[in-house]
Structure 1
Amino acid sequence: MEQLDPGIVQTLNEIWTQIMIHMRSMALPSRLWQFGIIAVCFALAHLGRLWIAPKIDAWARGRDLSTAQMRRVILVRKRVRGIIFVILAWASVFALAQIKTFYSWRFLVVLAATLVTAWLVVGLITRLIRNALLRKIVTWGAWIYVTLYYLGVTEQAAAVLDNAAIELGGFRLSLLAILKALVLTALLFTLARMISGRAAGKIRTNDEISPSMRVLVIKVMQITLYGTAFFIGLKSVGFDLTGLAVLSGAIGVGLGFGLQKVVSNLVSGVIILLDKSIKPGDVISLGDTFGWINSLGARYVSVVTRDGKEYLIPNEDLITGQVVNWSHSDEFVRIDLFFGTSYGDDPHVVRKLAVEAALSVGRVLKNRPAVCHIVGFGDSSVDYILRFWITDPVEGLTNVRGAVYLALWDAFHEHGISIPFPQREMRVLPGSELAVKEPETKSAPDR
């Protein structure tokens, strides 16, 4: 069996000696009194929680609180017992300090009050970390550290963790370094999230930057901040970052063979953001898909249609395929409608009524000309084209076409304009005979 490192054994012996010294001192009357005070404070804090928690719940239900306010209420509710204990413990310390006989009988009470106060502060601060797993790691790590710090065994515990290490050549990795790296990386990630969140909020509200450039700047900033936090965390462990060159080469080979489509979509996404050909809010048509762009992702573009479907279109398709962007350079969209009227109707009147009917629809622009032209003489009708403009294609095209068609129907019906439909006549020429074929009757089968 492999023996432990002598340094670890010596450190553990020192810690055990201090523990035994403290255990022997617990039997002193002054220590027993302090344990009693701590127990009473804890019991009162527990009873206080049972009484106050339902009142907090009732108070919260009676008010229209936002999500952020509700989270604060829940945060306080979960820590009611600790808050009450801290208040009672520090009140006991103050009371013992006023009595000369018991002035020296307050060490353990001060220690308990200090520890619980530190635990509460750590629990509140770590709520800034959104990732649940990372928050738990940092919380427990901070709780253990402050406990060891106020117990006065920080150096001994650090020595034990530092001696528990593995060595690979010139690289040494200890538990202490891993814990430091985890805590440091968590703090840096939290700081990066806070900075990127505030900066992203200001960038999104800056009208001087185009929507596509806003997305690009935010993504580059997030990658830079989180990448820096990650590499600083690796560096704090002592990891040699020059070794990543070999890893990046291997990743490059893998990308060249197996991840061509993924890389193509990533590069296409950057191109889309740089050339500003597509941006959030644009109305596009791609094949049979018509809708507005909801968001631009690293690999795909989210397009929401009028029927509520959300299509995730790869960025490569938007670069290599033909895309109709209804709002690329401006918001004006021209719509063409085709219809026909009878040869007996005056085309001048028809054109005037068609333009008036189009302009009567609310979404049709009045400051842009609506025109109607004859485009042909059909078999049974005079064919027209009606053109008008709108500025809100995101609200749909089919519905505005339907509204204009309905206005045309009402206007033509009011003025006696007829909309013909194809009709066919069959004539029997003189001298010809119309033969009627008698239906065949089936004979009964022979038996």
Structure 2
Amino acid sequence: MTVNAKPSLETDPELAEIVSDALDVVSNPTDLIVTVLVLLAALTIAVLVTRKIKLKLGHQRPVLLILVEYLCMPLIMLLSLGATSLIGGSFDNPLIGLAGTLLFLFVIIRVIGAVVELLFRPTMLLRVMLRLATVVSWLAVVFAVFKDRSALIAKLYSAKLSFGGINLSSEGVVRGLVVGVVIAIIALWGDKTITNLLRRSRTLQPNFVLALSRIFSVAVWITATAVIFSISGINLTALAAFSGALGIGLGLGLQRLAASYISGLIVLFEQSVRVGDNIATNNIVGRVTRMTVRYTMIRTRDGEEAIVPNDSLTSNVIVNQSWSDRNLRLVCGVLVKGDVDLDLARTLFVEAMTAQSRVLQQPPPHMYITGVNDKGIQLDGHFWINDPENGQHNVISDTYDAVLAAFRKNAVHLVAQ
């Protein structure tokens, strides 16, 4: 699918003769009306047959459906025009022959578009743009055929626009749009392919996969953009000067955003924060559920999702409870009377902590006397868990329940607060 081929009537005598004969038909009202009716009939037949085939196929055969959507209408129109040429008489005129030639060019362009869509399976938006690009490419070829016979078409075909040192031509814009769609499809396919290959790697850490995929993605799209500009005839040197001036203005307003992206790459490569880690930063405590180049999402203990810009993770202190391992120490304490049996209280306290299913046995739970005053003795139990993402207050509450039940049963009295 390209618009580089520009037929010229001056260099192609046979084409010049076909166009000249066709224009003679246009000057004859009767022949023109008959030709228009034939073309409308062919178009109607093509539309009806294509619709019937699409309804019969449904969505069960996507490959055939794509081929039908691309090629069915122009091919049926060609067959219909070919059938009229066999009749002869008033139907056998150069205008129908020219229409058949242009339809044949359209079929060739649509075949290329169908191959691109079947190979790279673009997104819905790019699929629509690709099909539109085949029509635009065909129209560009038609304009190239008639530009030597029409001053208006020639003027439109050679129109130029200049701003900010960047020169654009209508031909270059059309070429950039048509070829740019194909390049964008291939770039998107390449981006997805590289990302999938990185994700399948068994040696790379998830943070590295995310960072490398983003770097490759930026490289792919920068290359694709440069190629599109080059094909469009845009001077990259002039564009660089214009972009530099624009970039200075945007940079002043987007410093924080740029810092977040750069910080995101730093965090991903350093792996100071990983998905699944329990962290505390800026009064936000929770588990990291998602990381992108721009932000990190933290699910708090209240079930809320906090979106933290990555530059906050590089400029502030982070408490990572899962950096070296997932073990987390928790503390629960009670104040008992001064005359209690401390050995019994210690034993009951440790047994209550040990009995909890989420409490680790290694390192084992311990109880410490952390304070003595005129009211009583402060006993604090220390224990470890390795699944803080499942909650911390719930396991502390269960431990308190077990301790209080054991103290009541064995007459270990607490101090009334």
Q: What TM-score comes out, normalization by structure 1 length?
A: 0.68
Q: CA deviation at 1:194?
A: 1.5
Are residue 139 (structure 1) and residue 142 (structure 2) matched?
no
Match of 1:296 among 288, 291, 295: 291
SS of equivalent residue, structure 1 residue 407: helix
| Change beyond 3 A, Cα 1:256–1:352 | same
Match of 2:203 among 203, 208, 227: 208
Specify the alignment match of 2:304 in structure 1: 309
Specify the alignment match of 2:187 in structure 1: 192
Q: CA deviation at 1:321?
A: 2.0
Specify the alignment match of 1:380 in structure 2: 375
Match of 1:332 among 322, 327, 332: 327
| Change beyond 3 A, Cα 1:128–1:357 | same
Specify the alignment match of 2:402 in structure 1: 407
Structure 2 distance, partners of 1:421, 1:344, is 14
Specify the alignment match of 1:243 in structure 2: 238
Are residue 225 (structure 1) and residue 220 (structure 2) matched?
yes
Specify the alignment match of 1:440 in structure 2: none
Structure with more contact order per residue of length (Cα contacts < 8 Å, sep ≥ 6): 2
SS of equivalent residue, structure 2 residue 187: helix
Structure 2 distance, partners of 1:381, 1:147, is 93
Q: Is the 8 A contact 1:376 1:382 kept in 2?
A: yes
Structure 2 distance, partners of 1:44, 1:139, is 20
Q: CA deviation at 1:200?
A: 1.6
Q: Is the 8 A contact 2:350 2:366 kept in 1?
A: yes
Structure 2 distance, partners of 1:332, 1:258, is 42
Specify the alignment match of 2:4 in structure 1: none
Q: CA deviation at 1:230?
A: 1.0
Specify the alignment match of 2:123 in structure 1: 130
| Change beyond 3 A, Cα 1:238–1:47 | closer
Structure 2 distance, partners of 1:166, 1:332, is 66
Q: Is the 8 A contact 1:282 1:325 kept in 2?
A: yes
Partner AA of 2:291 in structure 1: L
| Change beyond 3 A, Cα 1:109–1:32 | farther
Q: Is the 8 A contact 2:166 2:238 kept in 1?
A: no
Structure 2 distance, partners of 1:110, 1:361, is 83
Q: How does 1:383-394 map to 2 (within 5 A)?
A: 383-394=378-389
Q: CA deviation at 1:284?
A: 0.9
Q: CA deviation at 1:383?
A: 1.4
Q: How does 1:15-164 map to 2 (within 5 A)?
A: 17=20, 19-21=22-24, 39-40=44-45, 42-46=47-51, 52=55, 76=65, 119=110, 122=113, 125=116, 128-130=121-123, 132=125, 135-146=127-138, 155-156=145-146, 160=154, 162-164=157-159
Structure 1 distance, partners of 2:145, 2:100, is 24
Match of 1:265 among 260, 263, 273: 260
Structure 1 distance, partners of 2:179, 2:69, is 30
| Change beyond 3 A, Cα 1:245–1:83 | closer
Q: CA deviation at 1:37?
A: 6.7
Partner AA of 2:407 in structure 1: F
Structure showing greater radius of gyration is 1
Structure 1 distance, partners of 2:353, 2:279, is 24
Q: CA deviation at 1:266?
A: 3.7
Q: CA deviation at 1:386?
A: 1.4
Q: How does 1:344-363 map to 2 (within 5 A)?
A: 344-363=339-358
| Change beyond 3 A, Cα 1:235–1:93 | closer
Q: CA deviation at 1:290?
A: 1.2
Q: Is the 8 A contact 2:167 2:234 kept in 1?
A: no
| Change beyond 3 A, Cα 1:350–1:246 | same
Structure 2 distance, partners of 1:37, 1:154, is 25
| Change beyond 3 A, Cα 1:9–1:376 | same
Structure 1 distance, partners of 2:289, 2:211, is 15
Structure 1 distance, partners of 2:405, 2:111, is 73
Specify the alignment match of 2:269 in structure 1: 274
Q: CA deviation at 1:310?
A: 1.9
Deviations, residues 17-74 of structure 1 (Å, cap 9, x unaligned): 465356579679999889767644544555666xx47x95xxx8xxxxxxxx9x969x
Structure 2 distance, partners of 1:88, 1:101, is 17
What root-mean-square deviation, in Å, do the aligned CA atoms of Structure 1 and Structure 2 show? 4.8
Partner AA of 1:306 in structure 2: R
Structure 2 distance, partners of 1:282, 1:244, is 44
Q: Is the 8 A contact 2:133 2:177 kept in 1?
A: no
Size of the aligned set, in residue pairs, is 389
Q: Gaps spanning 5+ residues in structure 1: where? A: 1-7, 61-68, 423-447
SS of equivalent residue, structure 1 residue 212: helix
| Change beyond 3 A, Cα 1:420–1:122 | same
Partner AA of 2:134 in structure 1: A
Q: Gaps spanning 5+ residues in structure 2: where? A: 1-7
Deviations, residues 171-192 of structure 1 (Å, cap 9, x unaligned): 6521111111123332222222
| Change beyond 3 A, Cα 1:309–1:408 | same
Structure 2 distance, partners of 1:46, 1:344, is 93
| Amino-acid identity (%) | 23
